Chains A and B, each alone.
Chain A
Amino acid sequence: MAVEPVLLAEEIRFVGPASIGSPVVLDGVRFAVGAGEVVDIGGPSGAGKTTLLRALARLLPDATGHLALRGVSADEIAAGEWRRRVTLLPQKAALRPGTVRENLLLPWTLKLRGEEMPPADGALAEALADVALGDIALERDGSRLSVGQAARLALARTVLTRPEVLLLDEPDAALDDDSAAQVAQMTARFAAEGGAVVRVRHQRIDGHATRRLRLSDGNLSEVSA
């Protein structure tokens, strides 16, 4: 019997704005990811990979189609709750002014997590070490981090929230090879612990993807190994 996917997307359709000629960006995409999987999505620039991740996170106004999380339709899950469980990390790390600690704890300042206990400093330091930022102090000013460090801090923050599906948009685009390798290992560990990961990436194959897909002409296709 087939394992039920954590996240299932069917007939996802999105037409770009009229100002650029209403191009069909997503043309009835079907996609599923299961627990423990790391799915890589590649494809030419402008093919709509970021758009697809946004649609999966319910962050794309006007996208149509059907989404389900562990068999429950998106219609029955509030948008905020959905994004707590299916979390997109956008390519541009957007940190708030404040310390590294304040940035890591930002999700626990939101109403959505009002009841949850925020992680303790030990867990924060561990999360930083997981993304090769072990030498960064929690008191450090977040605005003084490099682009690559900010990207990893944002990744650490998202992983700390323990989503069920992690959607990563170019997670290693701004990273050197060593940091990228460490981030990839952390991502693989997240999947091994039962999470589902979808990565949009351009970089060479890093050996951590369990499946690779290609988005072109508005549709996904399997890439053979």
Chain B
Amino acid sequence: MSKLPGLARVGEVLANRKLPALVMKVNWGRQMVISIPFLWLAIFFFIPFVVVLKISFSEAAIAIPPFSDLFEWDPDGAYATFKLNLGNFLFLLEDTFYLDAYLSSVKIAAIATALTLIVGFPMAYLIARAEPNRRLFLLALVILPFWTSFLLRVYAWMALLKRGGPINDILIAFGFIDEPIRMLQTDFAVYIGIVYTYLPFMILPLYSVIEKLDGSLLEAAEDLGCRPIQSFFLVTVPMVMPGIIAGCLLVFIPAVGEYVIPSLLGGSDTLMIGRVLWDEFSINRDWPMASAVAIVMLVVLVLPIMFVRNRIGNKGEV
């Protein structure tokens, strides 16, 4: 009987929300598994953006590191001056060069993504509709180039597109052109480079959706009098839409900030924002300006993409 008050007390404690904190030992293993990657990302992913934001408000200076400090301590007085330089951002707005670079990156990436879809779709369709034991082989054929060096794949096109290169030779031999045309260092070469290097990113998500496609729906459409073209656009395309969106995002996102492809295959007039940022940083050594370009790029390009991606992600796809 004397145990009853004790039990009542336990019940009272159990009803109390603070119980886990009181009774459970701190679970060190669990804490570590969560906090180690968390701290790593906080230090090496999140804080860097705070630093970029800070430096985008400073001024370029001939010093090591080449920018001014926001805070300046007066050596004999006890006050500090806080200087916020908006000049970089104002300059971004003033000089149409940067706006052009943003727009042209989006344009180039969008066209290249559409081209990748056009090239990738038939390939993904063929692989998904192939006999199961051939599928693995065809998929390996698509993935193999992806495992080799990205830089070398871009480089391969430099040799092919050159003025004296094989493609020009073939076009001349067949009489399409009379003398070599300039293909390297044009936007055309940039499109080829992007389509070529990011094709696997398009094919894989398309393949996984087409593979699950129910063939009987297409048969039904045909039985109901749909012509193949109609059933393709009215039945197939809507059903593989998640794959199309996923593939397009996977190509568009890296393409928009691309540096290597425009600098190796593009001409001096191929404006892409990744290249502008790089040049601002390494050639002009204007780190604050490069930071301002990065901040605007983040706000204007990356955050919308992340938003779209999350919206789609929440619907259970991608």
Q: Do A and B come from one complex?
A: no
